[in-house]
Structure 1
Amino acid sequence: MNTIEHRLTELEAKVAFQDETIEILNEELKAHQQQLAKMKRQTELLAEKLKEAQQPSLMSQIQEPPPPHY
């Protein structure tokens, strides 16, 4: 019986260690997912700003008359 109790104790310790490791990995995964979502949104915003910068603005579309000395 002593051997079975010892093996059971070892298995319980392993399971407890695995549970702790899984929880730590889960927290890390959540942090990485949040960071990835934030970076994705920043990339989308930068892409929008780049598109806006490449489009001619209304002011540049309006032709100014040449200066009077022409």
Structure 2
Amino acid sequence: MEQIEEKMAHLIRTVDDLSDIVARQQGEIDVLTRRVAMLMQREAEREADGGSHIFTGQEQPPHY
């Protein structure tokens, strides 16, 4: 019986640890999702303004 109680205590602790990890990861995913959405919105606004141009390195930027 004591052995079962020890294993159960170990499993309960493992589940609690994993729950904390999953909760932390979900918070990080939420932050990253908001950042990606913000970047996508910025890029969409930039494209709508007509000011999006990617320099390939062979071209000089307009301010030169």
TM-score by length of 1: 0.69
**Which residue type is aligned with residue 34 of structure 1?**
G
Q: Does 2:3 align with 1:10?
A: yes
Any gaps of 5 or more consecutive residues in structure 2?
A: 51-64
Greater relative CO, 1 or 2 (CA 8 Å, sep 6+):
2
* Runs of 4+ that moved beyond 4 A: none
1:24 equivalent among 17, 23, 26? 17
Structure having the larger proportion of residues in helix: 1
Larger Rg: 1
**1:4-61 CA distances to partner (integer Å, 9 max, x unpaired)?**
xxxx00000000000000000000000000000110000000000000101127xxxx
Counting matched residue pairs gives: 50
RMSD over aligned Cα atoms: 1.0
Structure 1: any 5+ residue segments left out of the alignment? 1-7, 58-70
Percent identity reads: 18
